[in-house]
Amino acid sequence: MPEEIVNRLANSKLITFNLEDFYAPGSRTVLDISQWLLEGIVLVESRFRESLKTTDFSAYQNHYVALHCATDAIVPQWAWMLVQSQLHGVAKKVVYGSLEQLETEIYREVISSIDVSEFQDVSMIVKGCSNKPVPVAAYAMITDKLQNVARSIMYGEACSAVPVFKRKKQ
């Protein structure tokens, strides 16, 4: 009589943590300020201010916005402040940088609010593949947070996990 095949993985107490489950819904938008610069490279204060006044920022209502300049223009810090002031109360969040930097900041807020106490002394696997844009930095952030409580942390899928952290026995 053949020996019964036991799915040890299904019987394990390994908990899967999927960062994709914490993806904040909403539109992500890159706002390129070079559109308000003379020939895309020179900031003329009066023209810049007038352009901001005549721009309909309601198009960014409830968006996550990444501010950047696509040209090599030298943009003074106060210009970014002016754009931010126009988006205040309109956009959900505004950051200076790329979409990845924006996503990283969104995840930073989300991860800081996660209560990880339920993962005390458990073995965990942080799921690797996702269909949503989870930034690399989010994996480092969640590892840092889970290390305070988890017995062990792995990365990937249960069938091919990579060990990341294991608490030393005391």
Edge-to-edge, what's the strand order for the sheet holding 28-32? Answer: 28-32, 64-68, 93-96
Cα separation, 130 vs 99, in Å, equals 17
CA neighbor of 14 nearest in space, from 113, 131, 124: 124
pTM metric for this prediction: 0.86
Cα separation, 135 vs 162, in Å, equals 19
Per-residue pLDDT of the chain (170 residues; tens, 9 = 90+): 677 654 444 446 899 999 999 999 999 999 999 999 999 999 999 999 999 999 999 999 999 999 999 999 999 999 999 999 999 999 999 999 999 999 999 999 999 999 999 999 999 999 988 899 999 999 999 999 999 999 999 999 888 899 999 998 87
Question: Given its phi and psi angles, is residue 97 left (phi above 0), alpha (psi -120 to 50 degrees) or beta?
Answer: left
Residue 55: per-residue pLDDT? 97
Output the CA torsion 43→48→52→54 (10° steps). Answer: -140
Domain residue limits, the chain? 8-24+115-166, 28-91
Residue 36: per-residue pLDDT? 97
Residue 4: per-residue pLDDT? 67
